[in-house]
A and B are shown apart, each in its own frame.
Chain A
Amino acid sequence: MLEIKNLHAKSEDKDILRGINLQVNVGEVHAIMGPNGSGKSTLAHVLAGREDYEVTQGEILYNGQNLLEMNIEQRAAAGLFLAYQYPIEIPGVSNKYFLKAAMNAVRKQHGQPLIDTTSFLKLLKENMQLLGMDKSMMERSVNEGFSGGEKKRNEILQMAMLQPKLAVLDETDSGLDIDALRIVADGVNTLRGPDRAIIVVTHYQRLLDYIVPDQVHVLAEGRIVRSGDRTLALELEDKGYGFLETHSAAASAAAV
């Protein structure tokens, strides 16, 4: 589904990604871990197409298409969803209106009929109940005045409504207490399925207790320095990111 080959990206003359290689197959859940500044969030935003980052080398294939040639909303329409670490506030635009506009924009791109208000509201109600969200949140402006937990739940709600093919969760666990974390993880797990892939970007392994990944990758200094199964995450928790330094040094030495 997703194939990243030798991806290099920079922001304001600063190289951040320095050769990422990653393959994610449909039906899989991948976790990307790494210390602060390792490039995790950058990778997520490069996938979404944020224009602050410049891809200098490499390619990304998404269902056989060249992702880098698509603009942000085309990628969204193609089923790529990014759950933001810091969801954006849009004053005056109600959550409900926003969601419906987004759903219909995607449908329009695919030449599908637009969703009618009744079915939309029904779907919305179901998903909100699942995420334990209060009805009133729909009438409030997008993310405005939401607590950190509410914002994250709202991201998962959008994901549930938009039913993406590839979901990228950028530090969705940050700022969540354990109950909220469980609810969010449940939301993600419901979406797990054979026709969908999920990339979980996280600093801590805690989230992976709830969303169990098929593969874990460790990012350091813009490269994937180790890949493995779930046990890699536990090993990291045990030893901390410190032990990677020797590894990455070794890896760079090997690369030279």
Chain B
Amino acid sequence: MSTDNALLEEYSQREYKHGFVTDIEADAIAPGLNEDVVRLISSKKNEPGWLLEWRLKAYRHWLTLKEPTWHNVKYPPIRYQDSIYYSAPKQQIKLNSLDEVDPRLLETYEKLGIPLEEQKALAGVAVDAVFDSVSVATTYKATLEEHGVIFGPFSEAVHKYPELVKQYLGSVVPYSDNFFAALNSAVFSDGSFCFIPKGVRCPLELSTYFRINAQNTGQFERTLIIAEEGSYVSYLEGCTAPKRDENQLHAAVVELVAMKDAQIKYSTVQNWYPGDADGKGGIYNFVTKRGACRGDNSKISWTQVETGSAITWKYPSVILQGDNSVGEFYSVAVTANHQQADTGTKMIHIGKNTKSTIISKGISAGFGQNSYRGQVKILKGATNARNFSQCDSLLIGDRCGAHTFPYIQVRNTTAKVEHEASTSKVGEDQIYYCRQRGLKTEDAVNMIVNGFCKEVYDVLPMEFAVEARKLLSVSLEGSVG
């Protein structure tokens, strides 16, 4: 396979396609973190006193915590005091239409292939574009308002719906949850807030494009989605970031609350800058995502396609409190070059007849290290709980690694928990077969890898599935042999 190898090597060493820095003046505060910085962030956003207090509590708690080391990723120590904890594009004026948006910003979106103009045309997608921590454009607001759906920047929700924010903020991921969640709680910049009232089926798929832009800015998004009784929402999150040399810390928190009979479907395509072929640069993505199925018959699904970031540390989880509630996790994680991923999920079964499904597909190429880490916990009261987990790894090249760390804890006899895992490589015979039918090696590999991920793509919203396929082939360009 020597010719294939060479070709694939070349193919994998492609450059990050979304690497460019938008030149917009940013309003940033000096690097470093202390109580004054926390106060400053809060005051810049005119936050109410209770929120500042909450941030300060989180900050003080963060000081008592140690950065976790149990994960299977390696990186040089992060100098938290060298990071900038607030940066917002300078224009702060409210915009009525896209015409008023800085054209250079729109250009950036166009380069990424996700222009807002086009987004509007896309079937039923409302976009809340977060550009360097502050939302600058929101579309389809009217349609959503008609249905009583609240969807907008977190910072706005704090002022418009303080009671809702106060009630739910930190109710799924408390500020004390872990090191990165505590840090986020102290300094979170902005994010999305979404509330679906009782009985409403959200008429659009909600979408937010996150983007890290200004140099040296830690990105601390905070997203909160509440689905009231009998409601439904599908939320899409997609990310790309400009190319740069320094590592960037990203510590987001996402909280989902599903009440009785409610359903939340949360899909992510993550394509942040992974660093160059030598492992230099790239985003550190330390994210805490968790959903609570509070009510009976509620359902939360996480679907993720993770192709970017130098390091991904993320475990979208579901707490299955309500009886008959359902948790799902579908994941494709790609690590090429020197990327590392430690990702998976936690399914905590508390209610009766709760069900969870975990499908994880890890793809390692180059020097990439890909770990699945998952916990399935069936508590004593969770009669008839069911879990099925399947974790498959695909290896491309002989210097990468694939690891599986499932934790299964069962406290109830009626539980049924099944876990399966397998590891394999892209078969040379498969490539040969495809080539004999006329396909080029890289097309053959793409086809095989996409086939491997099919179960996850099948649950992605249509336009995301298309994007995911593209991302995957770009991520693996040249890494196969």
Please report the C-alpha to C-alpha distance between residue A50 and residue B428 in the assembled complex, in whole angstroms.
10
CB distance from B3 to the nearest CB of A (A): 6
Best-buried of A49, A92, A141 by chain B (most CB within 10 Å): A92
- Asked if B454 is at the interface (CB within 8 A of a chain A CB), the reply is yes
A97 contacts across to B, CB distance below 8 A: 447
Q: Which of A70-78, A174-182, A195-203, A220-228 contacts B (4 or more CB under 8 A)?
A: A70-78
- Asked if A240 is at the interface (CB within 8 A of a chain B CB), the reply is no
B437 & A158 in contact (Cβ 8 Å cutoff): yes
A90 & B433 in contact (Cβ 8 Å cutoff): yes
- Asked if A98 is at the interface (CB within 8 A of a chain B CB), the reply is yes
**Chain B 436-477 per-residue mask, 1 if CB under 8 angstroms from chain A, else 0:** 111111010001101111110000000000000000000000
Closest to A108 in B: B438
Q: Which applies to chain B's interface (DSSP): helix, strand, loop or mixed?
A: helix
Q: Which of A31-39, A81-89, A122-130 contacts B (4 or more CB under 8 A)?
A: A81-89
Interface size bracket, A side: 20 to 34
Partner of B437, one of A49, A50, A102, A141: A102
A105 contacts across to B, CB distance below 8 A: 437-440, 443
Best-buried of B3, B4, B451 by chain A (most CB within 10 Å): B451
- Asked if A114 is at the interface (CB within 8 A of a chain B CB), the reply is no
A76 & B437 in contact (Cβ 8 Å cutoff): yes
Tally A-B pairs: CB < 8 A: 81
B433 & A73 in contact (Cβ 8 Å cutoff): no
B436 contacts across to A, CB distance below 8 A: 48-49, 72-73, 75-76, 81-82, 84
- Asked if B430 is at the interface (CB within 8 A of a chain A CB), the reply is yes
- Asked if B1 is at the interface (CB within 8 A of a chain A CB), the reply is yes
- Asked if B434 is at the interface (CB within 8 A of a chain A CB), the reply is yes
A92 & B455 in contact (Cβ 8 Å cutoff): yes
A88 & B450 in contact (Cβ 8 Å cutoff): no
Do A73 and B447 contact each other (CB < 8 Å), given the known contacts A51-B1, A84-B433, A92-B454? no
- Asked if B100 is at the interface (CB within 8 A of a chain A CB), the reply is no
Partner of B438, one of A50, A91, A106, A142: A106
- Asked if B427 is at the interface (CB within 8 A of a chain A CB), the reply is yes
- Asked if A169 is at the interface (CB within 8 A of a chain B CB), the reply is no
B1 contacts across to A, CB distance below 8 A: 51
- Asked if A115 is at the interface (CB within 8 A of a chain B CB), the reply is no
Which 3 interchain pairs have the tightest Cβ spacing? A92-B451, A93-B451, A92-B454
Residues of chain B whose beta carbon lies under 8 Å from any beta carbon of chain A? 1-4, 427, 429-430, 432-441, 443, 447-448, 450-455
Contacts A91-B451, A92-B454 aside, 18 further interface pairs with beta carbons under 8 A come to A48-B436, A72-B435, A73-B435, A73-B438, A73-B441, A77-B438, A84-B433, A88-B427, A88-B430, A91-B452, A91-B454, A93-B447, A98-B447, A102-B438, A105-B440, A106-B438, A109-B438, A162-B437
